[in-house]
């Protein structure tokens, strides 16, 4: 593939980093495009606990190492995703050899060991970490999501995780990452969580807004309000998992094989709006990462029970720039 266009990452040099989540297939397929247009990467799955630490005494860093090397060779930053999460974390963390639930102290030790081994291995290369992911509950009554971490350790598991991460690599910036981070109710809980943690002496440097959005939702004003709130808390903002589906949430169609006329224009205009907004907040936004590279592959198309083609990115399935690309780069 030859790359004719100006580099997106270069164009945004004085604004924020432009990132992409990768897997082995997309890296192989779009290596050149990634190196040209992006200056940050995230492992879509390959740095999650189930991949890096499948058994208590087994680590598998092979794929993660190859991403880190790719990032290094191409002068890209790398976001570490993620250390403590309720998903994609193997059961052995929570069980003893007989399959019984472990106690608080054992789980704390295992969590700390995981954080330490992973952060230490990449201490010079991975300087942004989603230390915890999605620990907040969506239902109104509770602040924290029910999880084995919460159940076994108690609500200080979050504090312990950040304090340990802080100790293991003082150079790394520590993030809290979540979806629906612009929705007022969830946003308030994120603010509450971070404020509580800071009162306990925890250093949280930034907030990750996942950004699984679509052509109309969330409303741009809602995004702006969230950016305002987080900026005022002196948090670095990373948009961590951006994808802009062509379907609004009530549109349940699953049969489209090609985008309808007008869909790509609508998406391009939406990208224009959100990137203009991001540029306004360049003092606070440090990186904007897409949760994929091209429309060839996105997790959204395989969402169990809702499989359909969603065409969410700036490059089409043949890795050609879409209308949205030109809107984002021409300003």
DSSP 300: G
Kindly state the number of chain residues that form the binding site for ligand GLA, as judged by CB under 6 A: 6
Query: Which residues is 132 bridged to in the sheet?
Result: 84, 176
Q: Minimal distance in Å, beta carbon 211 to ligand GLA? A: 9
Q: Which of residues 300-319 bind ligand GLA (CB under 6 A)?
A: none
Strand locations in 181-321 (E)? 206-209, 212-214, 236-245, 285-290
Q: Which of residues 57-116 bind ligand GLA (CB under 6 A)?
A: 81
Nearer to ligand GLA, 77 or 135 (CB): 135
10, 44, 125, 241: the active-site residue: 241
User: Tokens in use for 264?
Assistant: 């790509």
Q: Minimal distance in Å, beta carbon 178 to ligand GLA? A: 8
Q: Minimal distance in Å, beta carbon 241 to ligand GLA? A: 5
Q: How far apart are CA 70 and CA 27, in angstroms?
A: 9
Per CB under 6 A, does 210 bind ligand GLA?
A: yes
Q: How far apart are CA 145 and CA 148, in angstroms?
A: 10
Nearer to ligand GLA, 133 or 147 (CB): 133
- DSSP 3-state assignment of 144? strand
* Unique residue bearing structure tokens 């989603």: 130
Nearer to ligand GLA, 119 or 268 (CB): 119
Nearer to ligand GLA, 33 or 181 (CB): 181
Q: How far apart are CA 307 and CA 65, in angstroms?
A: 31
**Strand 236-245 to 206-209 pairing:** parallel
134, 137, 199, 283: the active-site residue: 134
Backbone φ, ψ for residue 252 (5° rounding): -95, 5
Nearer to ligand GLA, 78 or 268 (CB): 78
Catalytic residue check, 32? no
Q: What angle do CA 241, 246, 247 make, to 5 degrees?
A: 100
Return the exposure string of 108-127: e unless at least 16 CB atoms fall within 10 Å of the residue's CB, then b: bebbbebbeebbebbeebbe
Nearer to ligand GLA, 174 or 329 (CB): 174
Binding mask 157-186 for ligand GLA (x = CB under 6 A): ----------------------x-------
Q: Minimal distance in Å, beta carbon 100 to ligand GLA? A: 29
Q: Minimal distance in Å, beta carbon 113 to ligand GLA? A: 22
In the list 61, 70, 281, 299, the residue contacting ligand GLA (rule: CB under 6 A) is 299
In the list 26, 133, 214, 267, the residue contacting ligand GLA (rule: CB under 6 A) is 133
* Unique residue bearing structure tokens 């924020």: 16
Q: How far apart are CA 35 and CA 16, in angstroms?
A: 16
Catalytic residue check, 55? no
* Unique residue bearing structure tokens 């291995």: 121
In the list 205, 241, 243, 316, the residue contacting ligand GLA (rule: CB under 6 A) is 241
Nearer to ligand GLA, 292 or 324 (CB): 292
Q: Minimal distance in Å, beta carbon 179 to ligand GLA? A: 6
Residue 283: its H or E element? none
Q: 3-state SS of the chain: helix, strand, coil percent to 5?
A: 40, 20, 40
Q: Which of 100, 41, 92 is nearest to 66 (CA)?
A: 41
Q: Minimal distance in Å, beta carbon 265 to ligand GLA? A: 27
Residue whose Cβ sits closest to ligand GLA: 299
Residues that bind ligand GLA (CB under 6 A): 81, 133, 179, 210, 241, 299
Enzyme catalytic residues: 134, 241
């Amino acid at each position: 593939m030859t790359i004719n266009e100006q580099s997106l990452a270069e164009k945004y040099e004085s604004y924020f980093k432009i990132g992409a989540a990768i897997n082995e297939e997309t890296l192989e397929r779009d290596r050149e495009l990634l190196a040209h247009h992006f200056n940050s990467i995230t492992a879509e799955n390959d740095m999650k606990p189930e991949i890096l630490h499948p058994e208590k005494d087994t680590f598998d860093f092979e794929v993660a190492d190859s991403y880190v090397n790719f990032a290094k060779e191409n002068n890209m930053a790398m976001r570490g995703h993620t250390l403590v999460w309720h998903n994609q974390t193997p059961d052995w963390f929570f069980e003893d050899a007989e399959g019984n639930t472990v106690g608080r102290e054992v789980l704390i030790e295992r969590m700390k060991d995981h954080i330490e081994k992973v952060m230490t291995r990449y201490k010079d290369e991975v300087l942004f970490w989603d230390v915890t992911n999605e620990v907040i509950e969506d239902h109104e009554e509770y602040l924290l999501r029910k999880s084995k971490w919460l159940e076994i350790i108690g609500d200080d598991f979050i504090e312990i995780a950040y304090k340990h991460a802080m100790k293991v690599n003082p150079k790394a910036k520590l993030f809290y990452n979540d979806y629906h981070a612009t929705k007022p109710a969830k946003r308030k809980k994120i603010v509450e969580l971070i404020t509580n943690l800071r009162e306990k002496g925890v250093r949280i440097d930034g907030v990750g807004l996942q950004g699984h959005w679509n052509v109309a939702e969330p409303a741009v004003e809602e995004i702006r309000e969230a950016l305002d709130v987080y900026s005022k808390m002196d948090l670095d903002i990373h948009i961590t998992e951006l994808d802009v589906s062509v379907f609004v949430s009530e549109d349940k169609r699953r049969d489209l094989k090609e985008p309808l006329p007008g869909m790509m224009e609508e998406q391009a205009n939406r990208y224009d709006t959100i990137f203009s907004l991001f540029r306004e907040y360049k003092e606070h936004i440090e990186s904007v990462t897409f949760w994929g590279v091209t429309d060839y592959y996105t997790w959204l198309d395989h969402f169990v029970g809702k499989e359909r083609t969603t065409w969410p990115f700036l490059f089409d399935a043949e890795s050609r720039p879409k209308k949205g690309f030109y809107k984002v780069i021409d300003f």
